[in-house]
Amino acid sequence: RFMESVQGGVSNAYSRVLALALGARWVVVAVMVASAVGSWLLLQSTKQELAPLEDRGVILASINGPDGATLAYTRRYAEAIERIGQDYPEFDRIFSNIGNPTVAQGNVFLRATPWEERSRTTQEIARELAPRFASLPGISAIPITPPSLGQGFRERPINYVIVTSDSYQNLSRVVRQFQDELAKNPGFVQVDTDLRLNKPEIRMDVDRERAADMGVSVDVIARTVETMLGGRVVTRYKRDGEQYDVVVQTVSGDRSAPEDIDGLFVRGRGESMIPLASLVTLREVVVPRELNHFGQRRSASISANLSPDLALGDALKVMDGIASEIMPPGYTTDLNGQSREFKNSSGSLAVVFALSLLFIYLVLAAQFESFVDPLIIMLSVPLSMLGALLALKFSGGTLNVFSQIGLITLVGLITKHGILIVEFSNQLREQGLDKLEAVKQAAVLRLRPILMTTGAMVLGALPLALATGAGAESRQQIGWVIVGGLL
């Protein structure tokens, strides 16, 4: 009885407000136009990204040593990062993988305890680890929290590609200038590039005439250097059902410096041993570590992490602005990885949203056998968009793949309210009531089922909006959009 009296009071109050609204139609139209404009402004100001960063329970420490570093050098720093990880009770397992993809690179996996056993997220821990990793001299170590939608584990949110047909030396100068401009913006963290032209290399020039006089072929010289410095499998033997490779190689202490090559000997004419130093000339040069191409043109990729207050969409706008200022003729830009996925998904939102409105309109036109009634029903969509974007704004959410799914779902949920009112209003008009009276009665009589179904949907979406644990960051985005839009 109490709920019935409350519902009756709500219906009476609604009836009076409805009568006032129907008497001031232009005010209502102005409110709807203002809502549509507000939705557009909110849409432009809301931060955009591909997907919210989820707490996946692991942090990857990516290690990049100086070009020319040895495996032992990389291992020493990997062990230092392991010791740093042991200072945090949130990590219960630590695993290192060094020498991949080059001997100067590696990864340390810091596996966190389950969500319910810790009070901090991996993102918060990673922000605390970043300065400690940066203080390690001799390497570049970056804490990475893996992306949410299955991209590569080492993938970083920013992957900006500079493409040209110019030389790599000129491309390197442009990249350095680009990095200098990015360094002025604190939102870009740990900016790096894959174009490095400073890898040390030893060139060995063979005196072919002298080698021929000594009876030493170039092939023998190359095989000797390969065997003594790099190692070579010379045979295999079996023992207890297992097969073992026999590798010949100089002990590590005798192959740690370029001068050690002078201590090697090759066999010449008459079985005489000839010092390699008398046949070759050594010189140290600098070469690129790797030369990449993108779209069959020379390229350099700039990667970076982002601070919490800089969204991916805003970051790409900043980088496009820098590119337009400093890029010489013949240079273009492109995107890769997460940045490319974000750009593609953002471009398709408007198309998918328009298609969803068109699909709903066509279904309603067939149901009502009218092209006007569906337009009336769908006029409530701008009001719901305003509520959805406000909820997203106040909850700290972003416009991403998940919130876009929520917005498209919301269109279908909201049109249900208009269907209930318009259908009943048409039935009353068929009974002889005039248009205005039919609208009043239909709206008041349909208020209760609309409130009931809306309340049920809001309560059903609240567990999404208030979710915790694994994947909560993504579910919250959908939840708040639906809750805000329906309210």
How far apart are the C-alpha atoms of 198 and 201, rounded to whole Å?
9
Residues 183, 188, 192, CA angle at the centre, nearest 5°?
A: 75
DSSP state of 252: G
Distance in angstroms (rounded) separating the CA atoms of residues 69 and 63: 12
Helix, strand or coil for residue 101?
coil
Residue whose structure tokens are 């909820």: 391
Structure confidence at residue 270 (pLDDT): 81
Helical segments of 331-400, H only? 337-368, 373-378, 381-394
Q: Is the Cβ–Cβ distance between 180 and 298 less than 8 Å?
A: no
Strands 265-267 and 273-275: antiparallel
User: What pLDDT does residue 12 have?
Assistant: 92
pLDDT at residue 322 in the model: 93
| Three-state secondary structure call for residue 349 | helix
Residue 362 CB contacts under 8 Å (≥ 6 apart), including other chains: none
Nearest to 331 by CA among 160, 177, 171, 168: 171
Neighbours of 70 (CB within 10 A): 14
CA 419 to chain centre: 40
Q: What is the Rg, in whole angstroms, of the alpha carbon atoms belonging to the chain?
A: 34
Instruction: Give the predicted TM-score (pTM) of the model.
Output: 0.74
Length of the chain: 487
Instruction: Write down the pLDDT at residue 388.
Output: 92
Contacts of range 211-214, beta carbons closer than 8 Å, 24 or more positions apart: 211/279, 214/268, 214/269, 214/272, 214/274, 214/279
pLDDT of the residue at 88: 93
DSSP H helical segments within 70-207, as ranges?
71-85, 122-134, 168-183
Task: State the pLDDT at residue 150.
Answer: 67
Asked if 175 contacts 300 with a C-beta cutoff of 8 angstroms, the reply is yes
Give dist(CA 412, CA 168) in Å, integer: 53
Degrees, nearest 5: CA angle 152-153-157: 75
pLDDT tens for the chain, 487 residues: list them.
998 898 889 999 999 999 999 889 899 999 989 998 998 899 888 888 888 888 888 999 989 888 778 888 999 999 999 999 999 999 999 999 998 878 888 999 999 998 888 888 888 899 899 889 988 988 888 888 887 776 667 778 899 999 999 899 999 999 999 999 998 888 898 888 888 888 888 888 999 999 898 889 999 999 988 888 888 898 999 999 999 999 998 888 788 788 888 888 998 888 889 998 889 988 888 888 888 999 889 999 999 888 878 888 889 999 999 999 999 999 999 999 888 888 887 777 778 888 888 988 999 899 888 899 898 888 888 888 899 999 998 988 888 888 888 888 888 888 888 888 898 999 999 998 998 899 999 999 999 999 999 999 999 999 999 988 778 888 899 999 999 999 9
